[in-house]
Amino acid sequence: MADQIAAHADFFSFGTNDLTQTTFGLSRDDSSRFLPTYIQNKIVSDDPFQVLDRDGVGQLCVSAPSAAAA
């Protein structure tokens, strides 16, 4: 919907913590109980709330303005 929003907005601002929670389906408040195990077992390489997942969350941030420009 970025293209529709762009017709009325001067800029985009992304809350990467909120976007990370939605993308990964994780609650930041609860993830500290299991993320260390996920990292240890190489399910994820880093805590996604400490290091931006550039391939997933980062790509969403990049693609929205591109969609708006189209």
Summarised one tens digit per residue, pLDDT across range 17-57 is 889 999 999 999 999 999 999 999 999 999 999 999 999 89
The pLDDT score that the predictor gives to residue 67 is 53
The pLDDT score that the predictor gives to residue 10 is 82
The pLDDT score that the predictor gives to residue 61 is 81
Higher pLDDT, 68 or 33: 33
The pLDDT score that the predictor gives to residue 69 is 55
Rounded Cα distance, 68 and 49, in Å: 27
Helix (H) or strand (E) holding 31: helix 28-31
- Residue 32 has phi, psi (to 5 degrees) of -65, -20
First to last CA, the chain: 12
